[in-house]
Structure 1
Amino acid sequence: MEYIYKTKGTCSSKIKFNIDNDIITDVEFTGGCNGNLQAIAKLIDGLTVDEIERKCSGILCGNKATSCADQLAKAVRCAYKKSNK
């Protein structure tokens, strides 16, 4: 199932990805630091929601209260909850 998450507090404006049970694939960020976000997308491709949360949750960007990686962790958990209702 494709899911789109509108980010908050980051340079990227949204994250699009596929979720199948709790496996995340095909991650695409809109906006933000293109090279870094392409790397994040490749590194987490095929990981579970729990694995992504463990690796990405709580990462901050500069003096911001979040980061694109932190927003990804929130996005995948939100998608997982919605897909299991």
Structure 2
Amino acid sequence: MKDGTHTYQTHGVCARTITFTAKNGKIYDIQFNGGCNGNLKMISKLLDGMTAEEINAKCAGNICGMKGTSCADQLAKAMISEQ
């Protein structure tokens, strides 16, 4: 993934966008705009410093209620789309 700040437009979840910084193959400063504030802050802390591949492996396929996706799943999609 290219170094720098990236913003991903989410689909089907409460968070509207996800912003993160890529640096030397690692992802930092993940921020969700909207969504479940406390839960998303914890997700951001737990994933800080991981590679895009590690984040995708942990988050892809997680769903929220009947939505068929979740903020974590959308983060996994962001990791793929920004590569």
The two structures have a TM-score, normalised by structure 2, of 0.92
Task: For structure 1, list consecutive stretches of 5 or more residues without a partner in the other structure.
Answer: none
Question: Residue 64 of structure 2: which of 61, 66, 83 is its match?
Answer: 61
Q: Distance in 2 between matches of 1:10 and 1:63?
A: 11
Q: Deviations over 1:16-70 (max 9, x none)?
A: 0001243100000000000000000000000001110110000000001100000
Runs of 4+ aligned residues of structure 1 deviating over 2 Å after TM superposition are none
In terms of fraction of residues, the more helix-rich structure is 1
- Distance in structure 2 (CA, Å) of the matches to 1:52 and 1:22: 12
Of 15, 20, 28, the residue aligned with 2:18 is: 15
| Structure 2 segments unaligned to the other structure (5+ residues) | none
- The yes-or-no answer on 1:47 pairing with 2:28 is no
Alpha-carbon contact 1:24-1:76 (below 8 Å) kept: no
